[in-house]
DNA sequence: CGTGCGCTTGACAGCTGTCAACACTTGTGG
DNA sequence: CCACAAGTGTTGACAGCTGTCAAGCGCACG
């Protein structure tokens, strides 16, 4: 799952000659909307961003969370997801260069295509897991993912709401809440307010997350491009 | 879901100057394996092909079915899925040209990238659905998809086994079987042996499949490239 | 301090996986 | 042609999980 929340550094390479603008958004504010022309891509300087889609039945699906250093909005054509500020955020904003304009070296295109293929691979794995894993396994993996995000500190900050987590993992708020409580009751975590959790039994949590976490975080064949782990959210097309 | 089972004609354009070889496989035979170097791509001449992955826990996940005219195995680097013959099949086999070699026009690269982005979009939609739809909805959509495959004929041939369907939709064989029976009991379909079904209430089936079917088959913004609907299975990377 | 929102918790029902048994088809060998 | 075995599909009983409905708690904000 870790790979769902990291971003393609390659995009930066493709646009490195362009200058950036720094923008601020308040928590909850829309950064860009689904379907808008994807004329800019963003890098998180501070805070947390989520990307989401809305479906015909009204359900919301979060496709990724982005933290300091992560890139989002690197879509092609139009944005395939909306992006919203989870917390107050500071982002750097870059103009999109046409990925296939004449100034782009073939080698970078090659890398970009490779990244896309790998993102598809990740999506497939995630797909499988969404259909075959329990709420407990999903949440355990999610927490381990946040831990990794926090440089491995056992004290995890959870910037997003329960409903964000639910819409990301394909669960309901109730189930997420119950599962948090359950993990705490089993001594695996200690809940410290709404936005903070301490992992008290890391091996236990890992063993629950098990393959779920492994199969998303650890990609065996990383020989082609290290930055190829992609967030689903930023790879939607027009 | 229809888009999950069609293929990128663009790949053919990228390799049109190469000659093909015709091959035959018996039902159940392996065409290529996950992880093998993706040196060839295939076009189904006759029969049905499935692409699949195996996961650490032993579970199998089918990522796509391919029928006459469909292209599979157009992966980049190594195959991200295995391909197996569902029935006896005849395929045409093409050598892969490097997508980024100097002879490839930029315009085609542009189209290839677009297709990849759109495939990601499809994957995301599929992702959402896998987590939020019931067995009945999934199977109804699957049948409608097969119907469309059969040029709209209400009498559908189902070449694959129940367990193939289960592994494709993220269900168990039992649930698939029960759901078939249930749809028949409700008068929506008539089961005619293992490999044939007659849709007796098309509107009813559509209304069950509902958004599931719509959201996968009907892609609103088809202005960029008509062949952009992709099977998940053929877009895995090394 | 009151209101509202997010979060938690409980009761319950529905769905689906698991376990188990059986029917049907296919293929093999006598 | 029949007997048998293996594979596939169907069906039932049951349990576990998760969504739904409903209520209540607690923190944040005005």
Q: Which residue is listed with tokens 């559509």?
A: B206
Helix (H) or strand (E) holding A22: strand A20-25
pLDDT band at residue A29, thresholds of 50, 70 and 90? very high
Domain ranges of chain B: 2-129, 133-209
Residue spans of beta strands (DSSP E) within B9-80: 20-25, 30-32, 40-46, 49-54, 60-66, 71-72
Query: How high is the pLDDT of residue A20?
Result: 82
**Tens-place pLDDT, residues B145-168:** 899 888 888 899 999 999 999 999
Helices (H) and strands (E) in chain B, counts: 6, 11
Q: B129 vs B65, which has greater pLDDT?
A: B65
Tokens of B94: 């093409």
Alpha carbon distance A35, B71 (integer Å): 29
pLDDT above 60 for A51:
yes
CB contact under 8 A, B214 and A56: yes
Lowest mean pLDDT among A80-94, B196-210, B220-234: B220-234
Query: How high is the pLDDT of residue B159?
Result: 96
Q: Which residue is listed with tokens 């659905």?
A: B129
Query: How high is the pLDDT of residue B33?
Result: 95
pLDDT above 90 for B49:
yes
**Tens-place pLDDT, residues A97-139:** 655 455 555 666 666 666 666 666 666 666 666 777 899 999 9
Q: A191 vs B64, which has greater pLDDT?
A: A191
CATH topology of domain B2-129: Jelly Rolls (2.60.120)
Cα-based angle A73, A101, A98 (whole degrees, multiple of 5): 15
Alpha carbon distance A68, A91 (integer Å): 9
Q: A157 vs A228, which has greater pLDDT?
A: A157
> Which whole number is the average pLDDT over B210-237?
38
Query: How high is the pLDDT of residue A235?
Result: 33
Cα-based angle B81, B96, A77 (whole degrees, multiple of 5): 75
Helix, strand, or coil (residue B74): coil
**Distances in whole angstroms, Cα of residue B5 to Cα of each of A11, A118, A206, B149:** 30, 20, 36, 9
pLDDT band at residue B219, thresholds of 50, 70 and 90? very low
Mean pLDDT of chain A: 77
Query: How high is the pLDDT of residue B18?
Result: 54
Distance A52 CA to C9 C1' (A): 29
Q: Which of B80, B100, B120 sits opposite A110 (nearest CB)?
A: B100
Which residues contact residue A67 at a Cβ distance below 8 angstroms, ignoring those fewer than 6 apart?
A5, A44, A48, A149
pLDDT band at residue B69, thresholds of 50, 70 and 90? confident
**Tens-place pLDDT, residues B97-138:** 655 455 555 666 666 666 666 666 666 666 666 777 899 999
Alpha carbon distance A140, A133 (integer Å): 11
Would strands A40-46 and B60-66 be described as parallel, antiparallel, or unpaired?
A: unpaired
Q: Which nucleotide across the nucleic acid strands is nearest to A132, CA versus C1'?
A: C17
**Cβ–Cβ contact A57 with B under 8 A:** yes
Cβ of A28 < 7 Å from strand C? Answer: no
- Domain A133-209: state its class: mainly alpha
Distance A170 CA to D17 C1' (A): 14
Assess contact for B162 and B173: CB atoms under 8 A: yes
End-to-end CA separation in angstroms for chain B: 25
């Amino acid at each position: 799952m870790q790979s769902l929340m990291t971003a393609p550094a390659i995009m930066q390479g493709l646009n490195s000659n362009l200058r950036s603008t720094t923008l601020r958004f308040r928590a909850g504010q829309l950064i860009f909307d689904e379907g808008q022309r994807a004329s800019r891509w963003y890098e998180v300087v501070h805070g947390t961003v989520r990307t989401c889609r809305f479906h015909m039945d009204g359900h919301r699906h979060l496709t990724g969370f982005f933290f300091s250093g992560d890139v989002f909005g690197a879509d092609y054509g139009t944005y395939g997801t909306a992006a919203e500020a989870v917390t107050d955020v500071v982002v750097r904003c870059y103009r999109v260069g046409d990925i296939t304009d004449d100034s782009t070296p073939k080698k970078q295109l090659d890398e970009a295509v490779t990244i896309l293929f790998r993102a598809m691979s990740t999506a497939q794995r995630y797909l499988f897991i969404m259909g075959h894993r329990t709420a407990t396994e999903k949440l355990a993996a999610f927490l381990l993912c946040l831990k990794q995000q926090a440089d491995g500190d056992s004290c995890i900050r959870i910037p997003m709401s329960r409903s964000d987590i639910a819409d990301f993992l394909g669960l309901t708020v109730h189930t997420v809440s119950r599962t948090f409580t359950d993990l705490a009751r089993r001594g695996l975590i200690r809940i410290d307010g709404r936005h903070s959790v301490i992992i008290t039994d890391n091996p236990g949590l890992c063993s629950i997350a098990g393959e779920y976490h492994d199969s998303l975080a650890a990609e065996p064949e990383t020989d082609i491009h290290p930055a190829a782990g992609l967030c689903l959210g930023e790879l939607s097309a027009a």
